[in-house]
């Protein structure tokens, strides 16, 4: 799921939803099987970029992200990239309300960022600045993908030989093939168009794509929604040089029910 920079402003009370620490020692979770995690670690040796494609607005997402990161860090040096502004990486209290509303951020994601900071993990944000989001309103459907890819490419060229980038993004952006989609034009009329995803613009010949597949449940994206079951299509979405792994989440829990 992905957004196109819609801005809204509400009371910061919207953020006070859960009183829970995701990474408390009392909470145990395991969404990816040891076999799948081993597969990811093994396939990662062939790629500089590992990209997780998620549906925003799901509580389990940061749990899976941490599982994948933990598996990878035992063998590789890992840099994490999030679909946020860099300012949110620097200060997890600075999230714009739209991030809570479109599901990209929640108290659970804040716990994840704080845990990663405690572990001194290298992280960066690759989303657009507020000024760029305003500019985007007059641009093509994939203009945001272009800017996000440019931000990620700046990190890719700085990687040392033993480093990997682990990206967390919406499940449209990480695709590496041009997609034919239907999208409203400037007059609001739905029209077919070509969409060049962020992943197709990386300065790398291949990626390891990890698709989060939700078998049931709900997600939050500006409102509570039923979760569709989406199977990743390797031939339609990715190049021959890419690898694809799917992780099943039995039931998706929305980040909020408001």
Tell me the per-residue pLDDT of 108-135, one tens digit each, with 9 for 90 and over. 999 999 999 999 999 999 999 988 988 8
CB 68 within 8 A of CB 224: no
Residue 165, pLDDT above cutoff 80: yes
- Given this model, what pLDDT does residue 119 score? 94
- Given this model, what pLDDT does residue 9 score? 32
Percent of the chain residues past pLDDT 90, beyond the cut:
79
What DSSP line would sit under 16-41, residue for residue? ------TT-TT-----S-HHHHHHHH
What DSSP line would sit under 38-66, residue for residue? HHHHHHHTT-SEEEEEE-SSBTHHHHHHH
- Given this model, what pLDDT does residue 4 score? 31
CB 201 within 8 A of CB 145: yes
d(CA 229, CA 247): 12
| Chain segment 211-253, per-residue pLDDT in tens | 999 999 999 999 999 999 899 999 999 999 999 999 999 999 9
- Given this model, what pLDDT does residue 245 score? 98
CB 253 within 8 A of CB 58: yes
- Given this model, what pLDDT does residue 29 score? 59
Domain ranges of the chain: 27-249
The CATH number of the structural domain formed by 27-249 is 3.40.50
- Given this model, what pLDDT does residue 213 score? 97
| Chain segment 9-63, per-residue pLDDT in tens | 333 333 323 333 445 433 455 899 999 999 999 999 999 999 999 999 999 999 9
Rounded to an integer, the average pLDDT of 156-163 is 95
Q: Of the ranges 51-65, 149-163, 175-189, 235-249, which one carries the lowest mean pLDDT score?
A: 175-189
Q: Tell how many helices (H) and how many strands (E) occur in the chain.
A: 8, 10
Is 0.75 topped by the overall pTM?
yes
Rounded to an integer, the average pLDDT of 138-162 is 95
| Non-local CB neighbours of 255 within 8 Å, separated by 6+ positions | 17, 57, 58, 59, 100, 103, 106, 107, 108, 109, 219, 220
């Amino acid at each position: 799921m992905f957004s196109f920079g819609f801005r809204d402003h509400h009371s910061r009370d919207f953020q006070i939803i859960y009183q829970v620490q995701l990474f408390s020692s009392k909470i145990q979770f395991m969404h990816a099987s040891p076999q799948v995690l081993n597969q990811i670690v093994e396939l990662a040796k062939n790629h500089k970029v590992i990209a997780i494609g998620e549906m925003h607005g799901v509580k389990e997402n940061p749990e899976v992200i941490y599982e994948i990161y933990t598996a990878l860090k035992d063998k590789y040096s890992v840099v994490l990239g999030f679909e946020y502004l860099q300012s949110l990486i620097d200060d997890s209290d600075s999230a714009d309300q739209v991030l809570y509303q479109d599901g990209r951020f929640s108290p659970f994601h804040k716990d994840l960022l704080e845990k990663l900071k405690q572990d001194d993990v290298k992280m960066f944000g690759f989303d657009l600045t507020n000024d760029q989001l305003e500019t985007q309103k007059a641009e093509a459907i994939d203009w945001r993908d272009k800017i996000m890819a440019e931000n990620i490419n700046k990190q890719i060229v700085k990687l040392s030989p033993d480093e990997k980038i682990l990206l967390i993004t919406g499940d449209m952006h990480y695709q590496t093939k041009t997609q034919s989609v239907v999208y409203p034009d400037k007059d609001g009329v739905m029209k077919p168009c070509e969409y060049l995803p962020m992943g197709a613009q990386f300065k790398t010949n291949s990626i390891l794509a990890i698709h989060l597949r939700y078998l049931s449940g709900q997600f939050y994206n500006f409102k509570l929604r039923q979760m569709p079951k989406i199977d990743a299509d390797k031939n339609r979405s990715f190049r021959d040089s890419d690898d694809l792994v799917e992780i099943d989440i039995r039931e998706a829990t929305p980040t909020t029910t408001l």
